[in-house]
Amino acid sequence: MPPSPSYTQQPWTETYSEIIDVRSQCEFAEDCIPGAINLPVLNDAERALVGTIYKQSPFTARKKGAALVAKNISQHLSDRFESKDKNYRPLVYCWRGGQRSNSMALVLAQIGWQVTVLEGGYKTYRAYVRQQLEELPAQFTYKLLCGLTGSGKTHILRQLSRQNHQVLDLEALANHRGSLLGEEWAGKPTAQPSQKLFESLLLQQLQSFEPSQPVWVESESNKIGQLHLPPSLWQQMKQATCIELQLPIAARVQFLLQEYPHLVDNPDILKAKLQLLKSRYGKEKIQQWEQLIDSQQWQQFVRDLLQHHYDPSYRQSIERDFKNTRQILSMVDLSPDSIASLLNSLVATLSVS
């Protein structure tokens, strides 16, 4: 007799052949258990259709839903499961661990596979993420890199990561560089993840770290683009030791022009973003910046933007949020030799912490 599905509220304590999210595509895109694949038993359009019918007749909606679910599971059996051997052990979940996940699990169990259903579905996983992000950040010691915009903090963090130091790259997780002009580009602006997905990615990164080793992180704001840091992590960052990087403004300007070529190539988008600063700096200053853009005086534009906007804002945030500056490290530029020397100095700070 084929086994019945088993149920768990703690799937992270086990290892599965595959994690199957049977929710619709939009639900999956907002957030999912890391590593899960999406095999919807109702796609976005079908879910909306069944919901509309349900308002008129729940019984008719259940019949329609059952037909669609059966059709979709049949397709998944042909496309995804045909090659699975008898030792296949999947975890299946939906939104609340209800009809959608059980429909898939019952069919797979009837075939003979050992299937586990996440009891409570995605909502159980989401509660676990929230609980972990309240507790886990306090288990680590953080080393903050501070420094004015253009000092190469993110670039240096990634060099530390390549040397196998523990680095929490919040900008990479948030897909944003954390400022007015910080959207990431891949031919066009790329979207940030949802807040929920950001927190899933953040938790996954924290769980990969060893508490016995320090975690390097940049002195971000508690908001990166449209995403917010968990309060527990933010409090730990504010209490951490901060190492300030100092770089001449000419080198910072050069570095930023290399890092943000898409803004040089899309001046209209750049000028539209600057309009958001009009209430702070006035129409005349915005016009000055626009004139520098139109005349392609990029060095002067970036220098002036740093001196009037970024540097004062950053100094204010540092004085407010990151008061534990332990050491100042100066560089003449961001050449490979300068970065190599800086990395040696940063690593040396670990032995005197």
> Could you give the domains of the chain?
6-130 (3.40.250.10), 140-350 (3.40.50)
Q: What pLDDT does residue 1 have?
A: 65
Q: What pLDDT does residue 207 have?
A: 97
Identity of the residue numbered 86: K
Nearest in space to 90 (alpha carbons), one of 35, 47, 26, 127: 35
Token pair 């976005």: residue: 44
Average pLDDT over residues 130-143: 97
Q: What pLDDT does residue 318 have?
A: 87
Give the global pTM. Answer: 0.91
Q: Is 39 left (phi over 0), alpha (psi -120 to 50) or beta?
A: beta
pLDDT tens profile 51-91 = 999 999 999 999 999 999 999 999 999 999 999 999 999 99
Task: Name the pLDDT band for 182 (thresholds 50, 70, 90).
Answer: low
Nearest in space to 93 (alpha carbons), one of 153, 11, 3, 160: 11
CA gap 76, 34 in Å, rounded: 21
pLDDT tens profile 215-274 = 999 998 899 989 999 999 999 999 998 999 999 999 999 999 998 888 888 899 889 989
Distances (CA, A) of 289 to 254, 278, 293, 310: 18, 11, 6, 14
Given a cut of 60, whether residue 353 has pLDDT beyond it is: no
CA gap 190, 183 in Å, rounded: 7
- Radius of gyration from C-alpha coordinates of the chain: 25
Tell me the backbone φ, ψ of residue 20, rounded to 5 degrees.
Answer: -115, 120
More confident residue, 115 or 1: 115
